[in-house]
Amino acid sequence: MRGLSIGAASVLLRIAVVISLKRSINEVKVPSCDGFHNIYLDNIEEDQEEEEDDEETTTATTITGRGNDHDYDFYRNTCPQAETIVRSKMAQIVSRHNDVPAALLRLFFHDCFVKGCDASVILTDSKGERSNFTERQAVPNRTLKGFDILDLIKEEVEKACPGVVSCADILALATRDGILLVGGPFYPVFTGRRDSIHSYFNEAVVEIPNPDGNLSETLHLFGLKGFDERETVTLLGAHNIGKISCEFIQNRLYNFLATGQPDPSVPLDFLNEMRINCQEIRDSRNGLSPTAANPSISESTIFRGLTSISSGAGFDNHFYQNLVRGRGLLFSDQQLMADEKTARYVRDYAFGDGSAFRTDFARVMVKISILNVLTGFQGQVRTNCSLPLYGS
């Protein structure tokens, strides 16, 4: 892992002090994080040593706009209730729709992987984009959901502090709170991001990892964003919550690599189980689970494997236990067992008590959340998350 500077280390040190003073709010309890920064310090020191050896190397995880432009509790003076509103709204939504955290986590990942965490994936209109296509239209993003959730939260935040809190920050905060609500680890979220005025269709097509990609392809794409093998294994552990749409595993079930046969690496009992759960496939755009705004969407095309076949429930290490048993849903996930350079980390997480995974996941979520953020006078703060401010 590379890219976090000594300046970032000082910011992270301040986080522990700020968080330890933060009180529990509403239904989501924010834990004390005394010593939380220790998760990062060793890695930061190693990163700094690497940077000194290769001063010309620039990675995607460099924090732009350090200090006042991008900080923990950035809105403490301009909108001190912002994080409370996000947290309260998420608790309310998740109590009725427990699939929302997984949806937002995927949305956040797809946003950050293309040009950074700038809410560009949310746009339906891209100002100045010559192709006039948005990221939401790109094939990897067509099944994304959670946009309506962001609109609901943004509306509440705008009532309290008009034009102050960016959609990029709301997405980052809501994702973190959602993870916490389903039993995942707490991690600090820097705020002060600005929203992009552009959306990047072409980049979304080629830069977002393919669920049918092999291990080399996956590691290459994650590596371009500054993530090493262990961090890639950790990030893919996000698949331990939520549901997988059947369209993403159809090739493994019936036509693997255009052979007309199922993936030979899938255990027969698991193959039959997946086929039973995915008997009826409708149009991909109907293969979405209900959200707060769309409660009537059918769930019949959703494979519930991540909960129905696992021995665990909620946010834990059952994802890795399934990979060890050859029961990964996505081909790209199961590929983590194809080479010892990643398989060893899968086994570490699978056979441990889950604490190592939770610690690593918290750390890597901080890292992905600061990918190429816009700060200061870059970008804008949208009042409607799907539309840029045309006067900017």
| Active site residue ranges | 110
Strands (E), 8-86: 71-72
Residue 297: burial class (beta carbons within 10 Å; 0-12, 13-18, 19+): middle
The answer on whether 184 is annotated among ligand-binding residues is no
The answer on whether 316 is annotated among ligand-binding residues is yes
3-state secondary structure of 95: coil
**How many CB atoms sit inside 10 A of residue 237's CB?**
27
The answer on whether 386 is annotated among ligand-binding residues is no
3-state SS track over 337-392: HCCHHHHHHHHHHHHCCCHHHHHHHHHHHHHHHCCCCECCCCCECCCCCCCCCCCC
The answer on whether 71 is annotated among ligand-binding residues is no
3-state secondary structure of 13: helix
Extract the tokens encoding 295: 């409660």
The answer on whether 239 is annotated among ligand-binding residues is yes
* Dihedral sign of CA atoms 184, 189, 195, 201 in order: negative
The answer on whether 118 is annotated among ligand-binding residues is yes
369 CB-near residues (< 8 Å, 6+ apart)? 108, 112, 117, 172, 189, 190
Extract the tokens encoding 328: 């990964």
Q: What are phi and psi of 106, to 5 degrees?
A: -65, -40
The answer on whether 120 is annotated among ligand-binding residues is yes
Helices (H), 54-81: none
- Report the C-alpha gap between 90 and 101 in whole angstroms: 9
The answer on whether 111 is annotated among ligand-binding residues is yes
Where b means 16+ CB within 10 Å and e means fewer, 51-75 reads: beeeeeeebbbbbbbbeebbbbbbb
| Eight-state DSSP code of residue 209 | P
Q: Which of 87, 123, 16 is nearest to 389 (CA)?
A: 123
R_g over Cα of the chain: 20
- Report the C-alpha gap between 339 and 320 in whole angstroms: 15
- Report the C-alpha gap between 4 and 50 in whole angstroms: 11
Extract the tokens encoding 304: 């519930």
Identity at 121, one-letter amino acid code: V
The answer on whether 209 is annotated among ligand-binding residues is yes
Which residues line the annotated binding site?
111, 114, 116, 118, 120, 135, 209, 239, 316
Which residues line the annotated binding site for heme b?
239
Which residues line the annotated binding site for Ca(2+)?
111, 114, 116, 118, 120, 135, 316
